[in-house]
């Protein structure tokens, strides 16, 4: 992402970041990612109204390195979000998810997002994590 979006600490990135309502909550992220997120969540909540009032998140825009420290996390550009159902989320590396998160996956995939629960390595699975895919980020034409 560094090659595509540049330094997440730059003034340019700060100007492309906003805090907006995405339906069930307000989130801070890259403006086009927020628009995509808002659209996907509107579809998900229409189809699964039981998620209304219990779907939350644990962050979207947070400039930080990945767990191994080799590169920036996609949260650094505000193009990744960690969801919770109520106050619960599967722990990082768990080999399981939650039904409320599982039902959202196909909707996010269709919109060009990747799901952390689909990571191939068992120890890396992150069921609460969704991030904009490379093709989606390129489509933002930033």
Query: Domains (ranges, CATH) in the chain?
Result: 2-139 (3.30.1380.10)
Give the C-alpha separation, 96 to 102, whole Å.
10
Mean pLDDT, residues 94-104: 74
The mean pLDDT value of the chain amounts to 90
Asked if residue 67 has pLDDT above 60, the reply is yes
Dist. CA 94–CA 136, nearest whole Å: 27
Question: Is 90 exceeded by the pLDDT of residue 69?
Answer: no
The pLDDT of residue 36: 99
Integer angstrom CA distances of residue 37 from 24, 45, 73, 100: 11, 12, 18, 16
């Amino acid at each position: 992402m560094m090659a595509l979006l540049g330094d997440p600490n730059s003034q340019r990135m700060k100007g492309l970041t906003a805090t907006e309502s995405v339906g069930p909550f307000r989130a801070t992220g890259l403006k086009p990612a927020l628009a995509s997120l808002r659209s996907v969540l509107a579809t998900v909540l229409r189809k699964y109204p039981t998620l209304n009032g219990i779907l939350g998140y644990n962050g979207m825009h947070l400039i930080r390195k990945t767990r191994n420290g080799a590169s920036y996390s996609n949260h650094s550009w505000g193009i990744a979000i960690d969801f919770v159902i109520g106050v619960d989320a599967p722990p990082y590396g768990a080999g399981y998810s939650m039904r409320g998160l599982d039902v959202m996956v196909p909707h996010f995939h269709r919109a060009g997002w990747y799901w952390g629960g689909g990571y191939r390595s068992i120890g890396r699975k992150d069921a609460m994590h969704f991030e904009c895919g490379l093709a989606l980020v390129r489509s933002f034409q930033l």
